[in-house]
Amino acid sequence: TPVQNDLEEFFAMC
Amino acid sequence: MFEARMAQASTLKKVLEAVKDMVSEGNFDCSEEGICLQAMDVAHVSLVNVLLRAQGFEMFRCDRNLALGIQLANLSKVLNCAGKDDAVTVKAEDEGADTAEFMFESSKGDRITTFELTLMDIDSEHLGVPEDTTYTAVIKMPSTEFRRIISDLSTIGDTVTIEVSKDGASFQVSGDIGKGNLCIQSNTAADKPSERVEITMEEPTKQTYAMRYLSFFTKAAPLSDTVTISLSPDVPLVVEFNIGEEVGYVKYYLAPKITE
């Protein structure tokens, strides 16, 4: 099952 | 001193409708550029970014940057008192003001309503949203069509997989009652530009998202005839509604669901 990601982590990663 | 007059209070009302179910409070950052609101939902899965440019207002004066911390449900109550064709003027003293004034004027100028809305201190962190992301798939479609797709499919399941391939864009949903698959294709021959569907693909793209947030995003449909949905593998989805030609935009970002 796909897991919901946290948006902050994405933008921190970018 | 901050003072801004918008000819159509209904635009501000529609912006509020577009964000208030997703976020409960936010700072309206006022500067010479215009008014900007960036806020995340409580689960930190999605983010809304609103910009109302200074040139979209009839009059705009902002001597010093200031943040108006507003409880959106309260602002919504105030804006609901505006008539359909009323103009709205927002005023606030410089940073530290406890209230902002909202004044509605009827188009004939014979009815003026004034509210003082209590402001609040909101600690909000601004996320650095990268501007230079290249998306592998972009779908532009009528916003009413997007709203219908999300509304129809959210009755079937709470997770949707959007897949863009050479065959078009498909929205796949599955739930307890079964599965659904809705496929749309580019239709650039429609009479009105606002009725066209344009699917641009750099490479086939397939990502999964929570339906609940996409439903929140469709609340912005009354602001714009068209919506642009941009996706790429493993980066947040962007759903963008432009307000008028130059007035501004409402952009939503949604973190994907990823199979670990």
Per-residue model confidence as pLDDT tens digits over B147-164: 999 999 999 999 999 999
Q: B45 — contact with chain A (CB < 8 Å)?
A: yes
Q: B258 — contact with chain A (CB < 8 Å)?
A: yes
Residues 95-134 of B with CB under 8 A from A: 127-130, 133
**Complex ipTM:** 0.88
Asked if the model's pLDDT at residue B124 lies above 80, the reply is no
Nearest to B6 by CA among B90, B128, B78, B80: B90
Per-residue model confidence as pLDDT tens digits over A1-14: 889 999 988 887 54
CA–CA min distance A13, chain B (Å): 10
- Percentage of residues in chain B having pLDDT higher than 90: 88
Nearest to B122 by CA among B202, B58, B27, B239: B27
Q: B7 — contact with chain A (CB < 8 Å)?
A: no
| pLDDT at residue number B103 | 98
Asked if the model's pLDDT at residue B222 lies above 90, the reply is yes
Burial B57-76 (b: 16+ CB within 10 A, else e): beebebeeebbbbbbbeebe
* Distance in angstroms (rounded) separating the CA atoms of residues B113 and B102: 8
| pLDDT at residue number B259 | 84
Q: What's the mean pLDDT when you consider all of chain B? A: 95
A2: nearest CB among B235, B253, B258: B258
Go through chain B and tell me how many residues it has. Answer: 260
Asked if the model's pLDDT at residue B91 lies above 80, the reply is yes
For residue B191, count CB atoms less than 10 angstroms from its CB and return exposed for 0-12, middle for 13-18, buried for 19 or more.
Answer: exposed
- Percentage of residues in chain B having pLDDT higher than 70: 100
| pLDDT at residue number B40 | 94
B56 three-state secondary structure: helix
Strands B112-118, B99-105: pairing is: antiparallel
Q: Which residues of A touch B40 (CB under 8 A)?
A: 7-8
| pLDDT at residue number A13 | 55
Q: State whether A5 and B256 contact (CB < 8 Å).
A: yes
Paired tokens of B157 = 């399941």
- Decide which of B74 and B131 is more confident: B74
Chain B residue nearest residue A1, CA to CA: B259
| Range scoring the smallest mean pLDDT among B53-62, B102-111, B185-194 | B185-194
Helix (H) or strand (E) holding B65: none
Nearest to B193 by CA among B228, B239, B148, B218: B228
| pLDDT at residue number A2 | 87
